[in-house]
Structure 1
Amino acid sequence: MESNKLEYLNKAIEGLPLKEAIAFIIENFEGKKVFSTSFGIEDQLLTHCIAPHIDEVTVFTLDTGRQFNETYEVFQRTLTKYPQLDIQTYFPEEADIKAYVNSCGINGFYNSIENRKECCRIRKVKPLQRAIKGADLWITGLRAEQSANREEMQFLEWDEANQLVKFNPLLHYSLKEVEAEVDLYNIPVNSLYKQGYLSIGCAPCTRALAEGEDFRAGRWWWENGKKECGLHIHSDKNY
């Protein structure tokens, strides 16, 4: 997409309320639009806002095969609240899982960063590529507050790695603002969230946060440095 078009769209939604910004982009952006949900609190708020436009947006989730049962529970409660939704589920390839387990062991991701990244690649990154194939716009729940790297992002920006435009409508939301709107609209939330799981991924790789810990500290807690799975790439940085 031409940079001047993105600049126009970014300026057009600056300052708009969340629902209006999402509606504007859905109406004015041409091409196939997809929304990925992991059923975290940010994605749940976006699901609420996207539900009225479901005929124009494809909603999908990635099931890694190592999810918390509480994630499946909120998945079901979300479908109950928004019966118009058809959430497509993408799974890893069986052959990839077999090869990984034979090579690294069932929990080999604890043994090295390389093993963990390979597990993320086959369980998340490869299924994502299938899910967004042919898409022109990918709606995400990324927020600038989640990490220093994400502060550099814009509402809409070109994703070179995936060759599409990424739309981050919650970019400038604080966590408290997300929580307030979720409460206002009585949106289903993963029950683990109230137990300190602010960022919920696979069960073996996620723990609750201690008071004062960074938002992402509960993910891959045995590693040091930046801890990401590779789904979101920007300026050669993994989010």
Structure 2
Amino acid sequence: MSESLSYEKWNDKKIEAMLEHFKDYYDVLKWSFKEYGDEIVYACSFGAEGIVLIDLISKVNKNAKVIFLDTGLHFKETYDLIEKVKVLYPSLHITNVKPISSLDEQAKWYGEELWKHNPNLCCHMRKVAPLTEALKDAKAWISGLRREQSPTRSKTQYINKDDKFGKIKICPLIHWTWEDIQTYIKLNKLPYNPLHDKGYPSIGCAPCTQPVVENGDQRAGRWAGSSKSECGLHQSS
């Protein structure tokens, strides 16, 4: 068996050539697990896209590795959903990845409610650093990014060189719309976060997530009132 392609072995030309072989998201997933096997991880936020990908991945590799970046600040509804998913897909290896520092330690060092006065540092400590550690032995990771979600994600490809983590980032759902996501969940009778029915299309940490107006920007509720739009996982620097 040939060695899987690491970050260093990919370039724009190789990615472009590979993209021509994919018909759809399912092709992408099948190739991903064939290429990377145990060296690929799905980082799931357990939003609506996450539930769709959980179901699709289980059809390709029922023993896939799934991680959830547990900041300790998520909604109760999110934690409840994770437990439901673990029961529904018992073969998947779902792991909660936690930061090195507890919330009490973080408050002691940087002050109470760091997410209010330095959200970038909070996201780095509670999301970026834990994912860096979780991907240490992986060559690739899967994300539920969709081009429709925001301008910063509009050029996302199926295969991406992730300069931040030095890995290959695979995004099978780039062409899916919010309506596609909702339809898949309904047709397959999948559990999902009830906050989606209360105006939360994008769900992150509870202190930094608000509902959005109908037909508004899907990520407008994240860090509302600030210029911040990403937690840092999908930014090159």
Fold equivalence (TM over 0.5): yes
Please name the residue that 2:28 is paired with: 21
Cα distance, 1:87 vs. partner? 0.4
What letter matches 2:72 in structure 1?
G
Please name the residue that 1:109 is paired with: 115
Query: Per-residue displacement from partner, 1:141-166 (whole Å, max 9, x unpaired)?
Result: 00000111211221101111211111
Question: Secondary structure of 1:7's partner?
Answer: helix
Structure 1 gap ranges (5+): none
What letter matches 1:106 in structure 2?
E
Query: Mean alpha-carbon deviation: is it higher for 38-47 or for 151-160?
Result: 151-160
- Count of matched residue pairs: 228
In the alignment, the residues of structure 2 paired with residue 7 and residue 30 of structure 1 have an alpha-carbon distance, to the nearest angstrom, of 22
Please name the residue that 1:8 is paired with: 17
In the alignment, the residues of structure 1 paired with residue 78 and residue 38 of structure 2 have an alpha-carbon distance, to the nearest angstrom, of 31
1:207 counterpart = 2:213:
no
1:145 counterpart = 2:144:
no
Provide the alpha-carbon RMSD of the alignment.
1.9
Equivalent of 1:131 in 131, 134, 137: 134
Query: Per-residue displacement from partner, 1:165-187 (whole Å, max 9, x unpaired)?
Result: 11010011111011111111111
* CA separation of 1:5 and 1:28: change in aligned 2, threshold 3 A: farther
Contact 2:144 2:173 in 1 (8 A): yes
1:232 counterpart = 2:214:
no
Contact 2:97 2:130 in 1 (8 A): yes
Give the 5 Å matches for 1:1-239.
Answer: 1-3=9-11, 4-13=13-22, 15-16=23-24, 18-29=25-36, 32-54=39-61, 57-94=64-101, 97-110=103-116, 112=117, 115-223=118-226, 225-234=227-236, 236=237
Contact 1:26 1:56 in 2 (8 A): no
What letter matches 2:16 in structure 1?
E
Query: Mean alpha-carbon deviation: is it higher for 3-12 or for 170-179?
Result: 3-12
Question: Secondary structure of 1:94's partner?
Answer: coil
Contact 1:31 1:137 in 2 (8 A): no
In the alignment, the residues of structure 2 paired with residue 116 and residue 108 of structure 1 have an alpha-carbon distance, to the nearest angstrom, of 6
4+ runs deviating over 4 angstroms: none
What letter matches 2:19 in structure 1?
N
* CA separation of 1:55 and 1:101: change in aligned 2, threshold 3 A: same
What letter matches 2:108 in structure 1?
N
In the alignment, the residues of structure 2 paired with residue 73 and residue 109 of structure 1 have an alpha-carbon distance, to the nearest angstrom, of 23
Question: Secondary structure of 2:154's partner?
Answer: helix
In the alignment, the residues of structure 2 paired with residue 120 and residue 21 of structure 1 have an alpha-carbon distance, to the nearest angstrom, of 29
> How high is the TM-score relative to the length of structure 2?
0.89
Contact 1:156 1:165 in 2 (8 A): yes
Contact 2:33 2:61 in 1 (8 A): no
Query: Mean alpha-carbon deviation: is it higher for 180-189 or for 37-46?
Result: 180-189
Contact 2:10 2:161 in 1 (8 A): no
In the alignment, the residues of structure 2 paired with residue 26 and residue 217 of structure 1 have an alpha-carbon distance, to the nearest angstrom, of 33
What letter matches 1:27 in structure 2?
K
Cα distance, 1:134 vs. partner? 1.9
